[in-house]
Structure 1
């Protein structure tokens, strides 16, 4: 049986501007095969933008820093998890991953790794063995399924 780590990511960008601009980058390889039982905890690292444009999106200068956040998260996850989506809207970027062991990034809630600037970040972890959260982002909820609620 093929595991998620055996599949290369296949990133697609989706844009929704019906109720404010939302830019989503989605790993279609992960979404198509979800759920992946070996990674049953959803991790969301929310980074507050320092100077968003009027649409709540980062200016070009901030993209480099956000790219370092993404790279640091992917490195920290290693074989313990997979980044599956990013969502940018309303002055924040959410990095959505699924993990085997959340301890790998729990420390980020107190202090992000060095070199990521002075951005404020929040870390949320929620059990999600059916990958409801990613399936919601991908528009693949089945009849009667309610969206995943993250802790506040």
Structure 2
């Protein structure tokens, strides 16, 4: 993972020897609709990213240049105080960064996931609730 001036690059090797990487940077909500970046044109994306990351080390720019396909995905950050819907479908329960609506690179996913798992497991086994649904709802 590398971060600089609000931009983030994170990479994970795949089992087949390929490298999967993501790049994240803040944009206005309507950026994808207003940008001149053509997400179907790899050369256009490379040019855009090389400009966006022009002051990064050459090794990162080489990674961008050697990439054969790109996918543009919006990541939204929601207020952490926003409550869950009480009518969410059961038995689905999320923990960690997925449950707390934070970006995956906030650095708290595992920490919050462990705390969430502890709270949820306590709710499920301590006998304070009449049903599993009630224990999950309380979580």
Greater C-alpha Rg: 2
Q: Given the two structures, how large is their TM-score scaled by the length of structure 1? A: 0.24
> With structure 2 as the length reference, what TM-score do the two structures score?
0.26
- The structure whose RCO (Cα within 8 Å, separation 6+) is larger is 1
1 or 2, which has the higher helix percentage?
2
